[in-house]
């Protein structure tokens, strides 16, 4: 069953399907690279990516600076 939410840009997204792999989502999280809502399997792939530490540090710095809507550093093409 679809579970829609509105993003900060006004777009509607279905949380029941991973935007990266299309798998049914039982648990979701937001990407560190962008604002994609992804499944836990895709999150694990992200964690193994060489640029993950850079993305994580950039998000933390943005939040500490008061930016709670950080859009990420961009998803690498190989992810």
pLDDT of residue 1: 59
Q: How far apart are CA 50 and CA 7, in angstroms?
A: 28
- State pLDDT tens for residues 24-37: 878 889 999 998 98
Residues near 79 by beta carbon (within 8 Å), at least 6 away in sequence: 20, 33, 45, 46, 49
pLDDT of residue 3: 73
Work out the average pLDDT over 4-13.
Answer: 71
Integer angstrom CA distances of residue 1 from 8, 18, 19:
23, 13, 16
Q: In this model, does residue 50 exceed pLDDT 80?
A: yes
Q: What is the pTM of this model?
A: 0.80
């Amino acid at each position: 069953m679809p579970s829609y939410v509105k993003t900060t840009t006004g777009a509607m997204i279905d949380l029941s399907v991973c935007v990266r792999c299309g798998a049914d989502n039982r648990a979701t999280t937001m990407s560190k690279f962008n604002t994609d809502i992804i499944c836990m399997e895709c999150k694990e792939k992200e964690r193994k990516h060489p640029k993950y530490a850079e993305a994580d540090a950039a998000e933390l710095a943005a939040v500490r600076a008061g930016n709670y809507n950080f859009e990420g550093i961009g998803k690498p093409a190989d992810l």
